[in-house]
Structure 1
Amino acid sequence: MGGGGGGGRGRSRTQRRHFRQNRENVWKRSRSDNQQQPPSSDDNNNNNNNNNPWEPFATQNPAFNEYYKEQGIVSPEEWDTFMSVLRKPLPAAFRVNSSSQFCADIRSQLADDFMKSLQAEVTDEGQVEAIRPLPWYPENLAWQSNYSRMQLRKNQTLERFHEFLKQENEIGNITRQEAVSMVPPLFLDVCPDHFVLDMCAAPGSKTFQLLEIMHQSTKPGSLPCGMVVANDADVQRCNLLIHQTKRMCTANLIVTNHEAQHFPGCRLVKNCPNASELEIAKEPSITQLLFDRVLCDVPCSGDGTLRKAPDIWRKWNVGMGNGVHSLQVLIAMRGVSLLKVGGRMVYSTCSMNPVENEAVVAEILRKCGGSVELLDVSSELPQLARRPGLKKWKTTH
């Protein structure tokens, strides 16, 4: 906050000085005054004295095409369809808080009110569905909207829907979250008495989801016996994580700030139910805290987020995945070491690169010998589109 505040004060002093000296503030000139505007660094480097309008990001990269065709992440017949989807905007998605007392009411309002009224609005625009529940998410708790932010302010019905989303999000009754981000917590199979570690938790939507699942299965009026430890290496992102999860109003959360690959060992004090307070004080039973579930959503190259971050098209190169592979293995191995016997760890990225996905999983299995096994979850969430992982891939130096 200090940096942001200091920057603001600096700008205001400059503007006041210019005003006293009767100097014109060139940054305040209108957009139409193209000839007088100070050129940007891009103009200086690439296009001197050229006032062409801004152009959207290029949605192609020959190196990307060559690399992923060679890896065979989709069949040759699917390649054109795959690329066309990558160039489409990402639909907005959100989740209804399953532990909220208003969960049923919100779900009914979405299905009986907004779903019908918004469909009437988009009939002329050629969209198939305005909003719809994601079929693979249990109990119709996750929804997808095909509107952009600009469209949401377009007319009265859309405006009402937008205000509904904002209000319920602030209260904590819904959470805006990308559909793909909702998947890993569902495969963890969390129960109310589980100790769960979210290793790279910020910004917190998955942590919120884990807490929801934990509270949803608990009897009304009581708290779960388990807890979620949400960790992130960046202290600023921890602040964001706390801001996101405090809407849950839960006592079953601890936020920590450590590098995930060096997450410290924790000790658990177990009090014997028949022991006196004096005996507990003298000789508490101290054991290492191991987790029933570990979510290992690691830092990655992020090339699976092209639909929301089109600048990756320009930045992408084959070295991005190689550069994070070692860190991903270290984090995943630390997660395995903190897992109970019989526990479950979900490893996930937002990358399509097998060097960051299959290669990391293969290295974990190699390092752990027979102490861990790959779990077949093909029967879980049957409506979720999926395919088997690659069994071979190519590395590039």
Structure 2
Amino acid sequence: MGGRRRRKGLNENKENMKKRSKSIEPSSISTIDLHSSRFNIQNLNFDNYYQEQRIVTSQHWDSFLNVLRTPLPSSFRINSNSQFSEDIRSQLENDFLHSLRFETVEEDNVDPVIPLPWYPENLAWQSKFSRMQLRKNQTLTRFHEFLKLQSEIGNITRQEAVSMVPPLLLDVHSNHFVLDMCAAPGSKTFQLLEIIHKSNEAGSLPDGMVIANDLDIQRCNLLIHQAKRLCTSNLIVTNHEAQNFPGCFLNRNYDAMEPDQNIDQLLFDRVLCDVPCSGDGTLRKAPELWRKWNTGTGNGLHNLQVLIAIQGLSLLKVGGRMVYSTCSMNPIENEAVVAEELKCGLVL
């Protein structure tokens, strides 16, 4: 329940920040200045803790902090199952990639919008502009309207670049049964569904499916609402505590004469275990976390994270794959959790 309260609190903070931001009309698009004026982006407890953890070398510490204090670029993913996906990609490659260079004056010579080189087929893109910059800068109006329209009709999904990584590492195929244990609001779920459909033969439905679970019923409702854009029948949404997710059963060859003869326990080919966390890896998009950061949050979530990971492994097929991920940099929430699974003999 600690993770649930944490996420609810973060959502409330974000809503409050949105309300306050409406009254701010900056004279330029310098979101870094906006960050600096509204938040104290320094926390000595954070510095001391992560220097002791040595997550970066002492020579790179100042550079590391400077990155954390810059706004997060906006990123999005083209829906590979959309009939307009090639047109959208072509418009980005042949129009915006070039036109934005002339519409914006930048000193660092960085392209305003680029495809993420590690994402297949140029289907994921990143803009150097934050969401606030896209909203406020009139020069970017056409690009912003393009993103809004394509997002509303389901051709693209706004998603952070780092959030796109776990589904790729799962190596999902069209016949796989996938469990997303902490799914809402669903960007990773939609990505998994797109992969399942795209890896299937054209004109046929995939044999696999995604079960998307979340503890928060309101977030489940949001996920269902968003999923309507995908027009898929290969999704089931459930509402359970991830650490107590129940065993499922599957009747692959239903026979009305012998309905119980072909029922087997459903073990998953792939499990995505993206657990509740302290979220200190999101400082670039949520700078209000700087003043709130303390070691207690990560320590308090460690046991819940271990329990969710253990349950995910127990529902995994022999030879299957589970990806464990967080939005935190804290080794207590990452390496220490994996170490606990190794100690239990659950990971090979």
- Do both share a fold (TM > 0.5)? yes
1:300 Cα deviation from its structure 2 partner: 0.3
Q: How does 1:50-199 map to 2 (within 5 A)?
A: 55-124=37-106, 126=108, 128-153=110-135, 158-199=140-181
Q: 1:319 aligns with which of 274, 277, 296?
A: 296
Question: Are the counterparts in 2 of residues 199 and 335 from structure 1 also a CA contact under 8 Å?
Answer: yes
2:347 is matched with which residue? 372
Bigger Rg, structure 1 or 2? 1
Question: Are the counterparts in 2 of residues 270 and 284 from structure 1 also a CA contact under 8 Å?
Answer: no
How much is the aligned-residue C-alpha RMSD, in angstroms?
A: 1.7
Change over 3 Å in CA distance of 1:332–1:155 after alignment to 2: closer
How many residue pairs align between the two structures?
A: 314
SS in 2 for 1:300: coil
Q: 2:261 aligns with which of 284, 288, 297?
A: 284
Q: 1:330 aligns with which of 293, 307, 319?
A: 307
1:384 is matched with which residue? none
Deviates more, 1:263-272 or 1:134-143: 263-272
Q: TM-score, normalised by structure 1?
A: 0.76
Aligned mates of 2:339, 2:279 — CA distance in 1: 20
Q: 2:270 aligns with which of 270, 293, 297?
A: 293
**Paired AA for residue 279 in structure 1:** M
1:278 Cα deviation from its structure 2 partner: 4.7
Aligned mates of 1:316, 1:150 — CA distance in 2: 24
Change over 3 Å in CA distance of 1:153–1:301 after alignment to 2: closer
The percentage of counterpart residues that share the same residue type is 71
Deviates more, 1:325-334 or 1:216-225: 216-225
Q: 1:208 aligns with which of 187, 190, 197?
A: 190
Aligned mates of 1:102, 1:280 — CA distance in 2: 45
SS in 2 for 1:128: coil
Question: Are the counterparts in 1 of residues 72 and 130 from structure 2 also a CA contact under 8 Å?
Answer: no
Deviations along 1:344-365, whole A, 9 cap, x unmatched? 0000000000000000000011
Aligned mates of 2:138, 2:97 — CA distance in 1: 15
1:339 is matched with which residue? 316
Aligned mates of 1:126, 1:66 — CA distance in 2: 32
1:372 Cα deviation from its structure 2 partner: 2.2
SS in 1 for 2:171: coil
Question: Are the counterparts in 1 of residues 74 and 131 from structure 2 also a CA contact under 8 Å?
Answer: no
Q: Which has the higher contact order (CA 8 A, sep 6+)?
A: 2
Deviations along 1:188-238, whole A, 9 cap, x unmatched? 000000000000000100000000001111111111100000000000111
